[in-house]
Amino acid sequence: MSLPLCQFPLLIHVEIFKHLEFEQIFMLSLCSENTKRLIQRIRLKAKKLRYTIEDDQVSVHGGFTDDERDLEFIAAMKCVTSISRKKTISVKLGGEPIKCRFERNSHTLKYLEPENKNALELLKNLIDSLFHSKPIIQLKLHSPDSLSSSNIFDDISDTSFMFENLDASELEAHLTKYPNHHSLDFFSDLTKRDLKQYSKIWEIEGLTLRGSRLISSRAMKYFSGRCLILHNAEIMYSALIKMIPKWQKKEGLHILHAVVIHTFASDDFIDELLDELNVLDWDGITRLKMFNYDPRYFTLTLE
């Protein structure tokens, strides 16, 4: 037995949609223009949207809060070389009809690239139309091409670069176009040539370098943001000796909140550093200050 959803009063609609997941709301918006307009009347307010963009696929997650753990799957689209005519359907995506196939197992809309070159932008337009608020936009980019395609967004707060061989000029152009970044996450091994002294990345509030290695000391020297995370760090003794006292005496680094370093340094190195900084052993009684996780930064998930 089917339910005449569009015929219910608005308050009933609100209660129904409160119990639906993001993915269900998205799929309903594809059913008809009337259903899409109904969803728009509900005036849903997402807090955060995350787009994961690969060469042939894009997926979107969203949440009603800032917390990363509240993100839910919304939609996925994949470019394919062929679709069976018997399984082809036509849906209106972002104001334009496209031919695609819905894969039930993976919950993915598959489409043909020659016919739908603007599929990512159409998907973005549809999702934008479903939410009354202006949510935080986060990107996870898996290739240089995905970085190029990201210029369709109006504003971006966080970007994670999941690929190697990141071009420094394209990175600076990305930060120039989207100056309101809260955090950056790099999986590639950046070099000193990529990260010059006046690079915009040093001013970002949350910065994660997962292959920091030889640029670790440079990051500690030039970073002026709030949270810095260095994975696989090769830390120079002098860099730490300069940074930590400067931070303690508040001679700089005024907004720095935390530095997290994952390193393979020897115990002797750590002991020598602690002695130099006059670090006291914990007495087992004094209550230690805790690091407060800030859910605005999706790069600060400590592993």
Please, which residues have CB within 8 angstroms of residue 166's CB and are 6 or more apart in sequence?
A: 144, 147, 186, 188, 190, 194
Query: pLDDT digit string (tens) for 237-277?
Result: 777 888 888 887 777 777 888 888 888 777 777 788 778 77
Q: Are residues 68 and 178 in the same domain?
A: no
Domain encompassing residue 16: 1-141
Q: Do 268 and 241 belong together in one domain?
A: yes
Look at residue 148 and tell me if it is in a domain: no
Low-confidence ranges of the chain (pLDDT < 70): 1-6, 8, 10, 13-14, 114-116, 191-194, 288-303
pLDDT tens digit sequence for 141-178: 999 889 988 899 989 999 999 988 888 888 899 999 99
Instruction: Write down the pLDDT at residue 50.
Output: 95
Q: What is the reported pTM?
A: 0.84
Domain count, the chain: 2
Cα dihedral 201, 202, 204, 208 sign: positive
Two tokens at 209? 């370098």
| Whether residue 14 is found in the same domain as residue 124 | yes
Residue 197 resides in a domain: yes
- Residue 12, both tokens: 């009933």
Same domain assignment for residues 169 and 277: yes
**3-state SS assignment for residue 7:** helix
